[in-house]
Amino acid sequence: MKNSEKIPEGNPFRVPDNYFKELNGRIISSTIENQDGKKKQGLYVRLRPFLAVAASVAVLAILSYTGIRLFSPHNESVSLTEIPVEEYSETILNEIDLLTLEENAVLTGIPNLAPNTDKKDIIDYLILENVDINEIQEQL
Amino acid sequence: MNKGFRLVVERYSTRLYWHIRRLVILHEDADDALQNTFVNAWRNISNFRNESSLYTWLYAIATNEALTLINKRIRNSAISLDDLGSWFANSTEGSTWFDGDEAQVKLQNAIIRLPEKQRIVFNLKYYDEMTYADMSKVLKTSVGALKASYHHAVKKIENILSGI
């Protein structure tokens, strides 16, 4: 008796057979091993949806690109924004056919805006510009 | 860390089981509370500082788990352990996991009628033979108050056992 002679000693409680033999194993499995299991599973569980999404996006991208390449009629066209302004201007000017433009103007009835000029007016203008009179006569 | 925790489990599991069992009485409850105690200890082992010993730290967790379970049981009120004598005699759980004589039944009835704090102090001192200094760390109570609690608990139990 520890402190009181009136209080009975002993442990009246019982436990199932082999309880304490199995107890530590169960505690370990619910703490340490459970933690390890979560870690291993966590990697797999976390990666799986991301991998699925990444694979889907990759497949869609490849299919879209292939479709555009195969079925686009202007697959070699270059965007205008990719051409420098100077190069673009030269290209346009080189491609304009002045004779075609004049013909189109005549066909569409655009009036000739050049004023009626007299031969005498031309000679006066050239003399004013100090052009040699002999040269003028040769040209005329 | 894992190896260290295994050693802690091996060293303290039985002692903590009995500490919890004396508070909650039922084996199933004690088993649950003990599992929760070590799960909590494992989760918080990184926060453990050497301000208290591992022994008192584990006892504090175990005591909290036991009290949480007791309060849950009171709320659910599925089982009443007010009269342990009849419960030990008449229920399967009680008769299977209790092997005490009449004096032991009277003692357990007396202990369970103590106020919660006195019951814990009595169990820790009488059964676990814990020093007041360690008990002070477990229960966050002064040594003087613990001595007084134990003294009152012993007196009440003696009176109940004497039929006074």
Structural domain for A133, as ranges: 82-139
* Number of structural domains found in chain A: 2
Residue A38 has pLDDT above 60, yes or no: no
- B88 within a domain of the structure (yes/no): no
d(CA A9, CA A87): 107
- B101 within a domain of the structure (yes/no): no
Residue B86 has pLDDT above 80, yes or no: no
Which residues in chain A are contacts of B104 at CB distance < 8 A? 8, 10, 12
* Number of structural domains found in chain B: 1
The alpha carbon of residue A46 and the mean position of all alpha carbons in its chain are separated, in whole angstroms, by: 28
Q: What is the DSSP letter of A115?
A: P
Contacting A residues, span 28-87, partner chain B, CB-CB under 8 Å: 28, 30-32, 35
Structural domain for B49, as ranges: 1-79
ipTM field:
0.78
Least confident of A118-127, B5-14, B80-89, B150-159: B80-89
Q: Give the rounded percent of residues in chain A with a pLDDT score beyond 70.
A: 55
Mapped onto helix, strand or coil, the DSSP state of residue A12 is coil
**B97-125 pLDDT, tens digit each:** 777 788 888 888 889 889 999 999 999 99
For the domain that residue B16 is a member of, what is the CATH number?
1.10.1740.10
- B104 within a domain of the structure (yes/no): no
- A128 within a domain of the structure (yes/no): yes
- B32 within a domain of the structure (yes/no): yes
Select the residue of B2, B97, B161 nearest A14 (Cβ to Cβ).
Answer: B97
How many residues appear in chain B?
164
Please check whether residue A26 touches B, CB under 8 A: yes
Nearest in space to B32 (alpha carbons), one of B74, B89, B72:
B72
**A52-94 pLDDT, tens digit each:** 888 889 999 999 888 888 887 665 555 555 666 666 666 666 6
Does A32 contact B6 at a Cβ distance shorter than 8 Å? yes
Work out the end-to-end distance of chain A between its first and last CA atoms, rounded to an integer number of angstroms: 150
Nearest-neighbour CA in chain B from A46: distance (Å): 22
- A99 within a domain of the structure (yes/no): yes
- A103 within a domain of the structure (yes/no): yes
- A59 within a domain of the structure (yes/no): yes
d(CA B49, CA B102): 45
d(CA B9, CA A131): 119
- A134 within a domain of the structure (yes/no): yes
A67 and A88 housed in the same domain: no
